[in-house]
Amino acid sequence: MTSTATPYAGPNVLTAVEDARSALVADLGRDASDVGDHLGNVVESDGVVTHLFACTRKGYVGWRWSVTVVQLDGGPITVDELVLIPGDEAIVAPAWVPYRERIQPGDLSPGDLLPVGDDDPRLVPTYFFGDDPLDADAKAQVRQVALDLGLGRVRTLSPEGYDAAAERWYESESGPLAPIAQAAPHHCHSCGFLMRIAGHLAQHFGVCANGDANDDGRVVSMDHGCGAHSEVRLSKKQEPLPVPEPVIDTITPDELENF
Ligand code: SF4
């Protein structure tokens, strides 16, 4: 069971600032001038205290020297750890993101491969191979039989896959929150250019098939919309002004001079 009691550091380790500084200076050797003022301490656990010192090294603005001192059961004070750690104002590298999570739509170039893991939650098997372990050849044979029988794709979208796609599309520029949809006079569900799709998302999404619209060829939500809606009509004052009848100018240059 985890104890929630406040740790008791003991007066010796709390005041062992000079011991901590000496250990740090000895460890840094000729770089000892990089150690600045004592900034405070952190009680880590019973008898364990970390003393913090400013780092005055060039290029390390906001970094601190951290020296952890320990005294257990009244024994001698020992120095356990000397490290340089970033403070709140330190410049540090951004958190590392695994390569797979860094890839964004649009990053793939022709010829690039992006394999999907066997356990990707967005996909579920369309059929099973059975309980017996199969080698690659046997799996290929099963796939061929499944193909011959018309069982279709090896994997299809899982409920998670559908949910993720619906969420992504709904919040995209083809959803109801896009500025063009907010300003649209009508929604896609009543537009003649909306192509219906089949499947679980058919009630909420379709494909825009208006070559003049920004969303042509894209999945749009039923409550998206744009000014190219099939039933949009211009009001009288929005209609272009009629062009006046042309007038043939018969005045010659000589007549013009006599005016
Ligand atoms: S033209 Fe506009 S309103 Fe019609 S389906 Fe396409 S995006 Fe929706």
Considering only CA atoms, give the Rg of the chain: 36
Q: Does any ligand 1 atom lie closer than 6 A to the CB of residue 49?
A: no
Q: Residue 24 and residue 111: Cα distance in Å, rounded? A: 54
Of ligand 1's atoms, which has the minimum distance to the CA of residue 192? 4
Judged by DSSP in three states, 24 sits in: helix
Q: Residue 63 and residue 143: Cα distance in Å, rounded? A: 58
- Residue, of 259 and 134, whose pLDDT is higher: 134
**Type of residue at 188:** C
Distance 203 CA to ligand 1 centre (A): 16
Q: Does any ligand 1 atom lie closer than 6 A to the CB of residue 210?
A: yes
> Would you place residue 4 in the very low, low, confident or very high pLDDT band (cuts 50, 70, 90)?
low
Q: Does any ligand 1 atom lie closer than 6 A to the CB of residue 64?
A: no
Q: Residue 178 and residue 170: Cα distance in Å, rounded? A: 10
Assess contact for 77 and 12: CB atoms under 8 A: yes
Structure tokens at 97: 């993101």
Q: Residue 7 and residue 46: Cα distance in Å, rounded? A: 5
Residue 116 has pLDDT above 80, yes or no: yes
Q: Does any ligand 1 atom lie closer than 6 A to the CB of residue 228?
A: yes
> Would you place residue 31 in the very low, low, confident or very high pLDDT band (cuts 50, 70, 90)?
confident
Q: Is the pTM of the predicted complex or chain greater than 0.75?
A: no
Of ligand 1's atoms, which has the minimum distance to the CA of residue 224? 8
Give the residue extent of every domain in the chain. Answer: 11-86, 160-221
- Residue closest via CA to ligand 1's atom 4 equals 229
Residues 6+ apart with CB under 8 A from 72: 47
Assess contact for 213 and 191: CB atoms under 8 A: no
- What would the pLDDT profile of 122-164 be if each residue is shown by its tens digit? 999 887 777 777 788 887 888 788 888 877 788 899 999 999 9
Q: Residue 79 and residue 137: Cα distance in Å, rounded? A: 61
Distance 104 CA to ligand 1 centre (A): 26
Segment holding 170, helix H or strand E: helix 159-170
Secondary structure letter of residue 188 according to DSSP: G
- Residue closest via CA to ligand 1's atom 6 equals 208
pLDDT at residue number 240 = 78
* pLDDT, the chain, mean: 89
Q: Does any ligand 1 atom lie closer than 6 A to the CB of residue 229?
A: yes
Q: Residue 215 and residue 209: Cα distance in Å, rounded? A: 8
